[in-house]
Every structure is written in C-alpha cells, then in structure tokens.
Amino acid sequence: MPPASVLLVIDMQNATVAIAHRAAETVKVIAGLRERALAAGVPVVMIQDQGGGMDPGTDGWQIAPELAPDSDGLVVHKTSPDSFLGTGLDAALKAVGATEVVVTGFATEMCVDTTARQALSHGYDVVLVADGHTTSVRPDAGAYASPDRSIAHHNEIFRNIRFPGRRVRVLPAAEVEFSSAP
C-alpha cells in the first residue's frame, strides 16, 4: 500500500528567503512540489516560525509570496527548530491520515534536520527533498560548513540514517511521487 504523503514546507518566510543560499532555485523547487501535491490531493502544511525576530504580522514573518497558502491552507506556527514541539503538527498529520512527510524548507542543519528526525520519532516515514532545502548564505571559511557542503552533508546523513520501522529516502524533487490517504 502506498504511503499517504503530506508536503511540509518549513520556514520559507520572507526573512529567511532573503538570507537563503540558492533562494530562487529552492523556492521554485518547492513551488513545483506544492503544485504537484495539491494536484494529487495531498495536503501541504506550511510551517511558520515566530519569535526571535520573526514577529507575527511583520513582512519578514510572512510566507514567501510564491509559496503562500490558500485561505484554507494549513499553517502551523512554531517557536523552536522542532516543528512538532508545542504545536499541532502531529495532530494535523494524523487527522489527514499521513504516514509519510515530504520535507522541504529552511534551514538545512537546524529546522529541516530537527523536524525530519522528529517526524521519524513520531512514526512517519520521511522523504527529504535533496534540492528542496537550503540554509543561509555564509563564507566558505569559518566555523560553519559552506551552504553547499551543509546541504550535501545532510542529504548524505539522511541517505544512511536507519530508524527502526521507518522508511527514509532522499530524492530530488523530480523523483518525488505523492500519494494521498485512501
């Protein structure tokens, strides 16, 4: 039986997109996935960070216009890198019969990584979209890995992570197949 997918779009807000590596490319990939998910009857859940300079109602807090949900779209607000912590995400996923989350968004090594791992702990299979997550622009030298290295590193980690009873895949957007709950 195919999994019942939900597309998660994490923190693709004006303020984060403004500092994102490959911002235009990542937004385009996620927008394409969103269109395909909706066409397949698959729910799209927008995760919206608030706090720490992401003040509700401000321009920076708003979801990027290319990804903004329809009036009936599901938006989950969070205050930590974990999109499940203190939010209604798990209940929303259960309500639509999700068994798999397709993970996209910002920032690779923080909110994307944390949410994907927590999805596994909450009983969901995970598809990390290899070209659908990004991180901040930063110099190649310094304490952090370069953006390209960070993205590649996390894709490789998730290709090799093992989690009992869960399926974990890393796929380019072009290979993601959506299936809705029966």
pLDDT tens for 22-42 read 999 999 999 999 999 999 999
122 in Cβ contact with 90 (< 8 Å): yes
Q: Check: pTM over 0.85? Answer yes or no.
A: yes
- pLDDT computed for residue 102 by the predictor: 98
The CA distance from 84 to 78, in Å, is: 8
Q: Which pairs from 171-175 meet CB under 8 Å and 24+ separation? A: 171/127, 171/128, 171/129, 171/130, 172/129, 172/130, 172/131, 173/29, 173/32, 173/33, 173/129, 173/130, 173/131, 173/132
- Assigned token pair, 166: 């869960």
Give yes or no for residue 181 having a pLDDT over 80.
Answer: no
117 in Cβ contact with 166 (< 8 Å): no
- pLDDT computed for residue 138 by the predictor: 84
Label residue 103 by pLDDT band (50, 70, 90).
very high
Give yes or no for residue 75 having a pLDDT over 90.
Answer: yes
- pLDDT computed for residue 179 by the predictor: 85
Sign of the alpha-carbon dihedral angle for 108, 110, 113, 115: negative
Give the mean pLDDT of the chain.
95
Mean pLDDT score, 85-114: 97
44-49 and 5-10 as β-strands: parallel, antiparallel, unpaired? parallel
Give yes or no for residue 71 having a pLDDT over 90.
Answer: no
DSSP character for 51? B
- pLDDT computed for residue 34 by the predictor: 97
Give the chain's radius of gyration (CA, Å).
15
Give yes or no for residue 11 having a pLDDT over 90.
Answer: yes
- 41 burial (CB, 10 Å; 0-12 / 13-18 / 19+) is exposed
The CA distance from 119 to 92, in Å, is: 13
Give yes or no for residue 84 having a pLDDT over 80.
Answer: yes
Q: Which helix (H) or strand (E) holds 5?
A: strand 5-10
Mean pLDDT score, 72-100: 96
- Assigned token pair, 167: 């399926």
- pLDDT computed for residue 72 by the predictor: 80
